Amino acid sequence: MEPKKTSKGEQTRAQILEAALDLFRERGYEQTTMRAIAEKAGVAVGNAYYYFESKEHLIQAFYARTHEEHMAASREVLDQERGLRERLLGVMRAKLDTIMPYHQFAGVLFKTAANPASPLNPFSAESLPVRRQATEIFAEVIAGSDTRLTPELAAELPNVLWLYQAGVILYWIHDSSPGCARSYRLMERSVKLVLRLISLFQFPLLRPFLKELLTMVADLRSEPMPAPLPAQTVE
């Protein structure tokens, strides 16, 4: 639409981003300097800051990339499978598969992502859109399956599953078994447990318990996580 305004800038932006991601892959995040990125991209250091607020913000691009890959991979699974088990398992496996190539710098990613003041923080307002999208995948896992759930459970479950997924990723980040085999095992076994839990909760006996759990979760989510503390500045 406005090719004049963007084309040149967009190109520079892309050059910087590619240079950054290449170098991150090659030698890791910490070992990559902004000077090196600028040099590889053929621009001045200052220019990188014209396009990206900070070194951390360069990660956000990579983040988005992974997310999109996962969405695509999930779509395939969800178009194929009808069983709740297969759908959940497929989506979870797709997630691990997508992030596997980046395992070596997962730590840094997580470190910045975990900072409450960071825009990369998955609970932050800035990443709400991505979080919502990710939750929607789980909503689809449930909605498109041949298993019928009580409405209350179906309403809150996607958020719980998103949290569950975050837990698995947390384990994965710390996992250095070959090929992250332990993470895959955790994922498979815990999916089974999650499904058992879900079917258990259909028992009337457990209804009051489920109800309390769900209202708690919903209540805690109700007020969106507030903005980063003003006192705390990101470095």
* Token digits of residue 3: 């090719």
Q: Which is nearer to DNA, 58 or 89 (CB)?
A: 58
Question: Is residue 17 a contact partner of residue 58, using CB atoms and an 8 Å limit?
Answer: yes
Q: Provide the H-helix boundaries in the chain.
A: 3-27, 34-41, 45-51, 55-80, 84-99, 106-114, 128-143, 151-174, 181-200, 207-222
Q: Which is nearer to DNA, 110 or 171 (CB)?
A: 110
Q: Which of residues 167-186 bind DNA (CB under 7 A)?
A: none
Interface map 31-60 toward DNA (x if CB under 7 A)? -xxxx-------xxxxx-xx--xxxx----
Residue 212's binding partner, choosing from DNA, its own copies, none, with beta-carbon cut-off 5 to 8 A by kind?
Answer: its own copies
Nearest distance from residue 196's CB to DNA, in Å?
46
Q: Which is nearer to its own copies, 146 or 219 (CB)?
A: 219
Question: Is residue 125 a contact partner of residue 103, using CB atoms and an 8 Å limit?
Answer: no
Question: Is residue 37 a contact partner of residue 48, using CB atoms and an 8 Å limit?
Answer: yes
Q: Which is nearer to DNA, 7 or 133 (CB)?
A: 7
Residue 149's binding partner, choosing from its own copies, DNA, none, with beta-carbon cut-off 5 to 8 A by kind?
Answer: none
Question: Is residue 134 a contact partner of residue 127, using CB atoms and an 8 Å limit?
Answer: no
* Token digits of residue 204: 């009337």
Residue 64's binding partner, choosing from DNA, its own copies, none, with beta-carbon cut-off 5 to 8 A by kind?
Answer: none
Q: Quick count: other Cβ atoms within 10 Å of Cβ 110? A: 16
| 235 makes contact with DNA (CB under 7 A) | yes
Binding site for its own copies (CB under 8 A): 28, 30-31, 104-108, 110-112, 114-118, 121, 123, 171, 173-174, 176-177, 182, 185-186, 189-190, 192-193, 196-197, 200, 206, 209, 212-213, 216, 219-220, 223, 225-229, 231-235
Round to whole Å and give the CA distance between 16 and 38: 7
Q: Which is nearer to its own copies, 73 or 107 (CB)?
A: 107
- What's the number of CA atoms in the CB half-sphere (13 Å) around residue 161? 32
Among 1, 3, 5, 129, binds DNA (CB under 7 A): 5
Q: Which of 199, 186, 205 is nearest to 93 (CA)?
A: 186
Residues that bind DNA (CB under 7 A): 4-6, 8-10, 12, 32-35, 43-47, 49-50, 53-56, 235
